[in-house]
Amino acid sequence: MILFGNKKLQYYKNILIKADLHLHDQIADRLLCLRPPTTKTIVLDLGAGEGALSQRLIDLGYEVLAVDINQDDFRCPEAEFLQVNFNHERQVKALKERYKEKFDIVLGVEVIEHVENPWEYIRLLNSLLKSGGLILITTPNTASWYSRLIFLRSGRFHQFSDADLSYGHIAPISPWELENIMVSEGFCDIHLEPAGTLPDFWFLPSVKHILMNIIGLLLRAFMKGPTRGWCIMATGVKK
């Protein structure tokens, strides 16, 4: 895949998708494959943004509870909404007590990089999931070929520069660490895969950027791990 220029904003039913290009499509496809909706499959969208993914899942036949820090931005009237700050201990405790082991599917889409303690965030997801339920987490892929080049040049992972602090990216997490947390928390059938849209060549009108693409292509043969994908998508089943 070759991409020219910057990625464009995407919408679902006029709701802004606050995630990478095609990531919501991939999440929906993965859920339909692993847990197609029954008469009452309850999904927790923990970090729902404006509600684009919540609305998409409702249209597919899932029942959705959407949770986020900002109720004013939420644009999906068909989903029940609950306002929670994941870094606020009292609010998180109340969420755990009210919805303990209630959900068939729990989603943490592009949230874990925003929280102060990724381990506690996954423990929160785990506590809200039924036995045998499905967890799905996505986060920026710090192991991608592009992120590795950014780190080589700056000592920072892609999407974790000073500028990224403005929208709350404070906790880069590697695919290895994400899988390790899920194993430690007792999940089984764990699967990690690249997601989102990261092209093999990404042309922007910059000599520096073109050189980075060429160097990345030359070095990719020596890179191990999940080098593709703007994001990593992890799924697992609660024992």
Q: pTM for this one? A: 0.93
Q: How many domains does the chain have?
A: 1
174 located within any domain? yes
207 within domain boundaries: no
Quick check: 134 and 104 in contact, CB under 8 A?
yes
Give domain status of residue 107, yes or no. yes
Residue 95: which domain range?
A: 8-143+170-200+228-238
User: In this structure, is residue 208 part of a structural domain?
Assistant: no
Least reliable range by pLDDT among 87-101, 187-201, 209-223: 209-223
Between the CA of residue 137 and those of 28, 46, 47, 113, 205, what are the distances in Å? 13, 10, 11, 11, 33
38 is a domain residue? yes
Residue pLDDT, tens place only, 57-114:
999 999 999 999 999 999 999 999 999 998 899 999 999 999 999 999 999 999 999 9
185 assigned to some structural domain: yes
pLDDT score of 218: 85
Is 164 part of any domain? no
| pLDDT greater than 90 at residue 199 | no
Q: Is 2 inside a domain boundary?
A: no
- In this structure, are residues 133 and 237 in contact, taking their beta carbons and an 8 Å threshold? yes
| Beta strands across the sheet bearing 187-195 | 80-83, 63-68, 42-46, 103-109, 129-140, 231-238, 187-195
pLDDT of 228 above 80: yes
- CA–CA dist 169, 114 (Å, integer): 5
Residue 71: give its domain's CATH number: 3.40.50.150
